[in-house]
Structure 1
Amino acid sequence: MKEYKIVVLGNGGVGKSALTLQYVQGIFVHNYDATIEDSYRKLSKVDAENARLEILDTAGTEQFTGMRETYYRTAQGFVLVFSLAETSTFENLKQTFLDILTIRGEDVPMVLVGNKSDLAETRQVEESDAQNFARKLRIPYFETSARLNQNVSEVFEECAVLIQKIGKSQSERRRWSSESEIGDKKCKNWLRSCCCCLIPCFTTD
């Protein structure tokens, strides 16, 4: 069974733990202590194949500076969470995205999540702004409510699908590169043998 390692990132208080617990355990926690680091596992299906999602719920990005690079290097995919009711959490994710790219390069599976969509009366981040940002990053965007369990499973399952797709793409590139190298060697050997046949052998008396 394949495993997909997903790290949930975002400022403290945006609802990372609430989203994770809603997905893994089907519960909504109203009050909980600030997360240091919690790991959860959930059996799921990715493109009709059984899979195990290993989800790391991290502390707020402003709190785990010592572990940040480790998270960025070891995760297969990222769920980037901000609060729709707090503009600063949205702005801070832009730097998080750049930091991940700096360490990992392109083709990193990521999903952007605007959480707390149920708090319409206190909303600060417009859907169009978040969608435009996600479009520039070329990553999916979801608006979620951990309390109402809206779009929660879709977030994690979409991240797993992206991990699988990018993994297959990288495998294809490696296979193509390997086959190209083999083809080049065969071509060189063939040319070498042909040249040997075409060049007449002269003997000196």
Structure 2
Amino acid sequence: MDNWRIVMLGHGGVGKTALAIQFSRSCFVGDYDPTIEDSYRKQLIVDNKRSCIEIIDTAGQEEYANLRDQWVREGQGFILVYSITARSSFERLEAFQQSLVKVKHQKPIFILVANKCDVTHEREVSYKEGLALAQRFGCKFLETSARTAYNVELLFTNIVQALRPPKWIESGTVGTLGGKPPKDHRDCKKCRCVVM
């Protein structure tokens, strides 16, 4: 069984806790109670393999920014969350993305999430803007609703799939960095060797 530590980052009030609770307990908590740090666990089957996910729900308030590096160091995968109803939460994502890049030595694995997509009449950030930012960051993008559970399980399925090594690496075969084995393993400029 895989064990993954997923850290949720984003400004306060965007729905990080609500997403974590919807995923782990299948219920919606509408009251906003600022979090410093909480964790949630759930087992999930992704591609016929069981995974245990620990979700670290972090504080989004600026006064806790000094804790951000610690959360990033301890995480394996990351979910950057903003609310479609608060442009300010969207504009602050750059700081969260930069802390990921600064602290992680390799390219961090993360997904950009636009939460509260059920409240379309209050939308301040378009789908197109979110998608453009994800393309600039080089990550996947999803719109979610913690209230209706829309795309919540898909979000965690996607992050687990991104964290797992490609099947050909797990089996010990030689392959390209793109996730597909090369036709000719002697093409060493494009291959990664697994030493057993």
Could you say which TM-score interval applies, normalised by the shorter chain? 0.7 to 0.9
Can you give the 5+ residue segments of structure 1 that lack an aligned partner in the other structure? 180-205
Question: Over the residues paired in the alignment, what is the CA RMSD in angstroms?
Answer: 2.4
Q: Alpha carbons of 1:168 and 1:63: their partners in 2 closer, same or farther (altered >3 Å)?
A: farther
Match of residue 112 from structure 2: 112
- In terms of fraction of residues, the more helix-rich structure is 1
Counterpart of 1:107 in 2: which secondary structure? coil
Secondary structure of 2:117's aligned partner: coil
> Cα 1:25–1:63, aligned 2, differ >3 Å: closer, same or farther?
farther
166-175 vs 16-25, which moves further: 166-175
1:56 corresponds to: 56
Kindly name which structure, 1 or 2, has the bigger radius of gyration based on alpha carbons.
1
Show the counterpart of 1:183. none
**Distance (whole Å) between structure 2 residues aligned to residue 88 and residue 126 of structure 1:** 13
**For residue 159 of structure 1, what is the aligned residue in structure 2?**
159
Q: Are residue 134 (structure 1) and residue 151 (structure 2) matched?
A: no
Name 2:40's counterpart in structure 1: 40
Mapped contact 1:9–1:61 kept (Cα < 8 A): no
* TM-score calculated relative to the size of structure 2: 0.83
Q: Does 1:176 align with 2:193?
A: yes
Give, as a single letter, the amino acid of the residue that structure 1 aligns with 2:50. Answer: N
How much does 1:133 deviate? 1.1
CA 1:135–1:59: 2 relative to 1, 3 Å:
same
Aligned equivalents of 2:18, 2:146: Cα separation in 1: 6
Find the counterpart in structure 2 of residue 71 from structure 1.
Answer: 71
Cα distance, 1:3 vs. partner? 0.2
- What CA distance in whole angstroms lies between the structure 1 residues aligned with 2:85 and 2:167? 35
CA deviation after TM superposition for structure 1 residue 146, in Å = 0.7
* Letter in structure 2 aligned against 1:93: L
* Corresponding residue number in structure 1 for 2:88: 88
Matched letter for residue 117 of structure 1:
C
Deviation at residue 102 of structure 1 after TM alignment? 1.4
Question: How far is the alpha carbon of 1:14 from its aligned partner?
Answer: 0.3
What is the rounded CA distance, in whole Å, between the counterparts of 1:98 and 1:168 in structure 2? 31
* 2-structure distance, mates of 1:120, 1:15: 15
Aligned residues of 1:109 and 1:166 also touching (Cα < 8 A): no
Please list every run of 5 or more consecutive structure 2 residues that lacks an aligned counterpart in the other structure.
Answer: 178-190
Q: Distance in 2 between matches of 1:168 and 1:7?
A: 27
Q: Paired residue for 1:125?
A: 125
Work out the CA distance in 1 between the residues paired with 2:167 and 2:82.
Answer: 27
How far is the alpha carbon of 1:48 from its aligned partner?
1.4
Secondary structure at the counterpart of residue 65 of structure 2: coil
User: Relative to total residues, which structure has the larger strand share, 1 or 2?
Assistant: 2
Matched AA of 1:94: E
Identity of aligned residues (%): 35
